[in-house]
Amino acid sequence: MAHQLSQFSSILRENESLAPFTWLQIGGPTRFLVEPNTVDEASEVLSVCHQQSIPVRLLGGGSNVLVREAGFAGATMLLSGPGFSHISQSGTLLTCGAGAKLSHVVGHAVGLGLGGLEHLIAIPGTVGGAVRGNSGSDEGDISQSIHSAKILSKDGQIRTVTRNEMAFTHRASGLDGVALIEVTFSLMESDPEVLTKRQQTFWILKRRAQPSFPERAALAFVDPVGHKAAELIHQAGMLGTVEGAVRMSTSYPNYLIASSGATSGQVLTLLDRVKQGVHDRSGVQLQQYLQIW
């Protein structure tokens, strides 16, 4: 390794396929795959990449990422180590690493008698991914429960930002270009038994609306304000639409499913076809949920 990242050889691999790290199992290699063990390591990697003009992307659970076959000519950082999955409580504040699974954090909060997150129980992926995309349900968005967060800027500097500074909008945040490393939620004291029942109810309802994982499935579109993407897709007659080895699910209208041999091009073509079909039928412009690398 002649590049400046050679000092991180113990946590770095070169030309590693990103497909296994995404739910759709599609995509080419990243020039560098880095798995830091601590926040300090992540900070150092970002600092070196910044100095060397190496672009960096963060990959969480991979549930909403589509990687093109060309891959990514930069460094992909996985926050999968134990240094990024901690969960701790201080009164009604719950702090967790961005790499923690959202379902684990929700279950932990419920067990502690802290309410406010239980409606998010069946959302896949990590806390970092959920916060970045402002995931939510009919009950509200994850941003409503956020107190603050720790982020790493592009040059590796650590700073704390408040909920307002994170600039949340519908299914989006203003966190592009920074690494989210820790989130603190402000929750409400509640009866653990009541919370457990609420969590179970949300789990059952959500499971009826999404495929069982880990099938190679991904949510296709964001629900537009005032609409359900699944209903719009159904009304437009786009259920089961096929493009190569990718198809829209017939049982779960807003999910696409990839089979062996599926390509990113097929996914993008399918998304465009469904978008057009929905727009022609209802006049609503769907926004894709998948992040395209």
Active-site residue (options: 171, 198, 273, 281): 171
Q: Cα separation of 259 and 272, whole Å?
A: 19
75 close to 54: Cβ distance less than 8 angstroms: yes
Residue 171 annotated in active site: yes
Per the DSSP assignment, residues forming a β-bridge with 182 are 97, 150
Active site residues: 171
